Chain A
Amino acid sequence: MPPEETAPRPEPRKPLSLQLKAGLAITGAIVLLGLLAPWIAPHPWDTISMRTRFLAPNATYWFGTDEYGRDVLSRLLMGARLSLAMGLSATAVSLAIGVPIGLLAGYFRGWVDEVLMRGADVLMAVPPIMLGLLVLAVTPPALWKTALAVGFVYIPQIARLARSVTLSLANEDFIQAAKARAESTSYILFREILPNAWPALIVEASLRVTYAILLGSALSFLGLGAQPPSSDWGLMISEARSFLDRAPWIALAPGLAMCLLVIGINLLGDGARERLDPRLRSRAGKA
């Protein structure tokens, strides 16, 4: 049985909701700008120039310049890549580890479920940012380590969702049929259950991307992520803190960019959730 046919599909003729359109437009624009950043950035993002320090936004430097005379807009564009990479790679880590855990717990139940889910409870007993700080405290900071740590922090949430979806699927006829055909456990888990769990997981994951971006930037802000001269948005805001009174644009530009990105992805995720399964709507807003 090709798994594609069993996945719930949106009706093809349903028009895109305004929410979904806005989300696609905002997120798409930021992704495009980030990808094209090296070619469209009006100035070099990391060239220090003492003659152009602290310039307010003007015709040459649309978003002004920072304390080293670097163009804020160019840094912003390069930083978009880092934020997107942080969100996507951290979420990929959570999915890669959390989904198999959830599948195993939901399929086998019993002591397997107990052990895995109590382990998840332990990780969830520490606020995410503290857990991230704790993991990162033991190693010299680097952005890829931050992405790993953020992915690690959100494993329990993904595992719980994967488990609950698996629990609801485990008694379906097609699973019983696969068992009757004496298919291997890994076949049932990854070829029968996973394809059907995918829509719910993907929607949840897309919303998780924003949590990952926010947590990653907070860790960079605290000095446990990207290091200078990186143009990570969290780091940019952190460095601009000392100049809030004379050059607020250095901090405000990356902050506003982050608002836009997070709102865009949230709209996209919420819109996709409603489109895939209107019954899930009531769950929106739970962290």
Chain B
Amino acid sequence: MAAYIAKRIVFIALVLVAVSMLVFAITTLLPANVAYLILGPFASPEQVRALELKLGLTDPVWQQYLRWAGHFLSGDLGESTLMNRPIAPLLMEALSRSLVLTSVSFVLIAVIGVGLGVVAALRHGRALDHGVSIATYLGIAVPEFFWAIVVIVIFAAWLGWLPASGYEPLSAGILIWAKHLIAPTITLVFGHLAHVSRLTRSSMIEVMQSPYVTAARAKGLPERVVVLRHALRNALLPTITVLALDFGRLMGGIVVVETIFAYPGLGRLVVFSIQNRDIPTLQAAILVVAAIYAFANLVADLLYAVLNPKIRFGRNAS
């Protein structure tokens, strides 16, 4: 197991190096000249030339890459060309806000998704089951930015309960802070419920028909114990690995949701840096997202490897 984990971590490191090359290669294609961007439109060609030399923009691309990667590894992410601030603190701030958003959404997705899946499985084939299926189907069939707009129309424009967008720090008061989190969270949760609830439902249905559930019932155990202790425990195993993957998917989902709700996290930072051609920030932000995404995938794989023998054990025991 330890060897497997070590191998996977080395592999992730290699993938991230490759991603960093990809990111660097694509951004060096950008037509906008970094020196020109920093100096503004009124700079003379001599000034631009001087700054290019200073920044090393005239060196071969591979030298630029190695220098950038070296700085990156030593924790120096460079300076945002737009905001004239070091990127690292900027990025950490955005990342922490995004992690708050994604973690809250993640917990809700897990709890609500599993709950809906179990309820649908127990009412298999009845109206409630179909209702849950249709609702979660809508969740994935519809783009996040549309759900965001429905949420804004209902909760902000119509009911007036929530602010339409924006962010307030925790220091502004926990209630105000939480209020700004609700709308983006609802949007993210609804968009990602379906995978979890559908998988929980199908594995619950399978498990409920298995001999050991029949055996548990024959022992005279109350239905609640049969469902929660015997069936759900086994049915949850595949769900857990999908949940880990969902955390990675949320990192993609925040791009649109943060942009709509003007939530100053990592996703908005990426869009913002693209719109303003802030290349160093873009490079750093994408690498951080790729790292989180890769580790979420690793966790999914590891959970699968760890839990798999249990699944076999469960089947043999039955």
Contacts and interface: CB of A to CB of B under 8 A. Distances in A.
Interface of A: 118, 121-123, 125-130, 133-139, 210, 214, 217-218, 221-224, 234, 237-238, 240-241, 244-245, 248, 251-252, 255, 258-259, 262-263, 266, 285, 287
A259 B144 CA distance: 11
A83 to B, nearest CB: 11
B92 interface: no
Contacts of B27: 134, 137-138
A137 B252 contact: no
B249 A127 contact: yes
A135 B138 contact: no
B30 interface: yes
B16 interface: yes
B289 A126 contact: yes
A137 B26 contact: yes
A244 B152 contact: yes
Nearest to A240: B149
Given A126-B286, A137-B282, A287-B195, A255 B142 contact: yes
A121 B15 contact: yes
A118 B293 CA distance: 16
A287 B18 contact: no
A285 to B, nearest CB: 5
A237 B146 contact: yes
Contacts of B180: none
**Which of A126, A244, A255, A287 counts the most chain B CB atoms within 10 A?**
A126
Given A133-B271, A244-B164, A122 B146 contact: no
Contacts of A139: 31
B22 interface: yes
Which DSSP category, helix, strand, loop or mixed, fits chain B's interface?
A: helix
A138 B143 contact: no
A261 B152 CA distance: 23
Contacts of B109: none
A285 B198 contact: yes
Contacts of A135: 26
A217 B251 CA distance: 18
B5 interface: no
A215 to B, nearest CB: 9
Nearest to A262: B141
23 contacts: A118-B15, A123-B22, A126-B19, A126-B293, A127-B248, A127-B251, A128-B252, A130-B289, A134-B26, A137-B26, A137-B30, A137-B282, A138-B27, A217-B143, A234-B143, A244-B157, A251-B146, A251-B149, A252-B153, A258-B146, A259-B141, A263-B138, A263-B141
B23 A221 contact: no
Interface in B165-200: 194-195, 198-199
